Amino acid sequence: MHTVVDLISLANEHLGTDLAPQDAGRELTELPCWDSVHLLRLVSLLERELGRPVPVADVLEARSLSEIWTAAVGT
């Protein structure tokens, strides 16, 4: 995984979402297919894909998929 687009592909493949790259900057509350269960499952998927723990507190504060990606990779 190298970009937020990879995160979106991961979500679509494993969570059954139908997200597009242009959704990266949208508020999570604006995504019709998104809920808190998706967020928790995504954290688990990210940890598996990245091979390390993801800072859950930072991810929970994220307001978009781009912010989730930034929190996960630490940049």
Return the SS3 of 27: strand
Using CA atoms, how far residue 24 sits from 15, 30, 52, in Å, is 16, 11, 23
Q: Does residue 33 have a pLDDT over 90?
A: no
Q: What is the pLDDT of residues 36-71, one digit of tens each?
A: 999 999 999 999 999 999 999 999 999 999 999 999
Q: Say what the alpha-carbon torsion angle 37, 4, 2, 43 is, to the nearest 10 degrees.
A: -10
Report, as an integer, the average pLDDT of 2-10: 95
Residue 6's pLDDT is 96
Q: Is the pLDDT of residue 75 over 80?
A: no
